[in-house]
Amino acid sequence: MLKKLSIATTVIAAAALSGCGEEGTAGIAPEVYTDSLFAVMKSDRTNYTKLIVQRLGPNKGDYIKPNEHWEDMEEGAPLPAQMFRYGAEGVAEMTDTFTYSLQSIWPVNKQNAPSTAMEKEGLKYIADNPGENFYGTEELGGVKYFTAVYPDVAVSPACTTCHNEHKDSPRDDFQLGEVMGGVVIRVPLS
DSSP notation for 5-23: HHHHHHHHHHHHHTTTTST
pLDDT at 141: 94
CA–CA separation, 13 vs 26, rounded Å?
13
pLDDT at 63: 63
What is the DSSP code (8-state) at residue 181? E
Residue spans of the chain under pLDDT 50: 1-19, 21-25
pLDDT at 139: 96
3-state class percentages of the chain: helix first, strand second, coil last, to nearest 5: 45, 20, 35
Tell me the domain boundaries of the chain: 2-188
Cβ atoms 101, 183 nearer than 8 A? yes
pLDDT at 66: 63
pLDDT at 158: 76
Long-range contacts of 106-110 (CB under 8 A, 24+ apart): 106/163, 106/169, 106/170, 106/171, 106/180, 106/181, 107/170, 107/181, 108/81, 108/162, 108/163, 108/166, 108/168, 108/169, 109/81, 109/168
Phi, psi of 144 (to 5 degrees): -85, 130
**pTM to 2 decimals?**
0.74
pLDDT at 4: 39
